[in-house]
Structure 1
Amino acid sequence: MNESKGPEIRLLNANEIDVRVQSVSKTRNGTVGAVLLLYKDARVDMKILDEVFGIYGWKRSHELINGNLFCTISIRDKETGEWISKQDVGVESNTEKEKGQASDAFKRAGFNIGIGRELYTAPFIWVELSEDEYYTENVGGKQVIRVSPNVKFTVADIQYSEDRVLTSLTLTDKNGNVRFSTNGTAKAPTGRTGRAGASKSAGNTNKPPEENTPASGQQEAPGAMICPSCGGPISQAEKEYSMKKYGQEMCRACQRKAK
């Protein structure tokens, strides 16, 4: 008996992918850089759901389970009329708590449908920053590095293989300069680099310093958080606790070392 696979979810276009600064840190050699993550906006999920299933072919609902907000996306099977559902939980945002959690739950449920799942194959992205792209502030008596508000990175080009694996990625800054490329053609930032005495010469800044590269198997899914100290995974609770106690983001393992 032949089983229908149903409509295929298309791959995300470059202009449908946003770039977020996950963390900023200074390496042992003094270079300041940022770990970047690729993510999708909830509007992209709605757009693709409309394209593939029609505006009357899908629906969403939210419910609280043990204090956590879940979203369920249901797709109507045109042949049987039945609804097939996928569900996932959301994480609170730093701004509008309830709205952010609902939006995050919707996007995560969209991953279960297949929207943007190819982002899970993205490489580890580390970009060297120039001195005018970051600043430091005192948090709990310690200096914490932040990315300047005007810094923005964009997906200029993205390519996939036939089996939906990301094979090529190019990121540019607001001035159109290539800052990350999987083919190794990215150059150092045009301003003064975030390192005393560093030169302005071009070079491949795609390769993160060894201390910022996550160990094998630690590559996180889009939206996951990474410890800027070791490159391993870090939870929201660990992040908040370490900021209050140590003045910087650290996973549990790094917190033990800091004691």
Structure 2
Amino acid sequence: MSPFAILTAPLTCEEIEWKIIAAKNGSTTIAPYIDARAVMARFDKAFGPMGWQVDYTPALIGNEQGVIAAIAVRNPETGEWIVKKDGSGPTDMESYKGSISGALKRAATVWGIGRELYSYPRVIVEGEHKYIPFKVLDRLKGLPKAIAEGKPLPEVIRLTPEGESAKGR
């Protein structure tokens, strides 16, 4: 498989994490994301640990301090280094570390990693939860495969805390 095919291959359920983005009005909305370790593993698999690098630069984004990540990969055919960049501002948790991780993940998206996450259905769980119920996470394990296979999916998936369809409730 070519390095580009490795980078752009659909994410697996093992690479995807879920986070709560809103818990109000009797429901919890969750969204998929990829963490920095999974990004690094993809680049290692595509180019080897010596065939890519990342450089972080502090940047002023609006009135807030942010970080730009520049991911460079060595073209296996020419040896030339190719760089793509993106940035992130501070996050709610671990402001500086979060902005570094966010910048890496955004720059990885420029390279094609995880772009399909933007097309995932919105997932809503009944009830206001502080943590995502395990049975919901278990139910969502099949979603990456369905996305990769191009199966038609609804715009919104509604689930009970037991991971069952909440459609018609």
TM-score above 0.5, yes or no: yes
- Equivalent residue number for residue 80 of structure 1: 78
Are 1:122 and 1:166, in contact at CA under 8 Å, matched by a contact in 2?
A: no
- Equivalent residue number for residue 7 of structure 1: 4
- Equivalent residue number for residue 205 of structure 1: 166
- Equivalent residue number for residue 55 of structure 2: 61
**Hey, what's the Cα distance between the residues in 1 that align with 2:133 and 2:102?**
24
* AA of the residue aligned to 2:141: A
Please identify which structure carries the higher helix content.
2
Deviation at 1:19, TM superposition (A): 0.9
Whose radius of gyration is greater, 1 or 2? 1
Q: Does 1:43 align with 2:25?
A: no
* AA of the residue aligned to 2:151: T
Write out aligned runs for 1:68-217 (5 A): 68-129=66-127, 134=128, 147-149=129-131, 151-152=133-134, 153-154=136-137, 155-158=140-143, 159-160=145-146, 167=151, 188-189=160-161, 204-206=165-167
Relative to structure 1, the CA distance from residue 12 to residue 6 in structure 2 (aligned partners, 3 Å threshold; closer, same or farther) is closer
Are 1:45 and 1:110, in contact at CA under 8 Å, matched by a contact in 2?
A: yes
- Equivalent residue number for residue 23 of structure 2: 24
Relative to structure 1, the CA distance from residue 149 to residue 37 in structure 2 (aligned partners, 3 Å threshold; closer, same or farther) is closer
**Hey, what's the Cα distance between the residues in 2 that align with 1:205 and 1:128?**
8
Are 1:118 and 1:165, in contact at CA under 8 Å, matched by a contact in 2?
A: no
Are 1:126 and 1:206, in contact at CA under 8 Å, matched by a contact in 2?
A: no
List per-residue Cα deviations over 1:32-52 (Å, max 9, x = no partner). Answer: 111110001100000010001
Tell me the TM-score normalized by structure 1.
0.53
List per-residue Cα deviations over 1:22-76 (Å, max 9, x = no partner). Answer: 10121xxxxx111110001100000010001111110000112334310010111
Are 1:125 and 1:206, in contact at CA under 8 Å, matched by a contact in 2?
A: no
Structure 1, unpaired ranges of 5+: 27-31, 135-146, 170-181, 191-202, 210-259
Instruction: Give the match's secondary structure for 2:124.
Output: strand
**Hey, what's the Cα distance between the residues in 1 that align with 2:159 and 2:72?**
45
State the percentage of identical aligned residues: 28
**Hey, what's the Cα distance between the residues in 2 that align with 1:55 and 1:85?**
16
* AA of the residue aligned to 1:98: Y
Relative to structure 1, the CA distance from residue 150 to residue 22 in structure 2 (aligned partners, 3 Å threshold; closer, same or farther) is closer
Tell me the TM-score normalized by structure 2.
0.78
**Hey, what's the Cα distance between the residues in 2 that align with 1:121 and 1:185?**
13
Structure 2, unpaired ranges of 5+: none
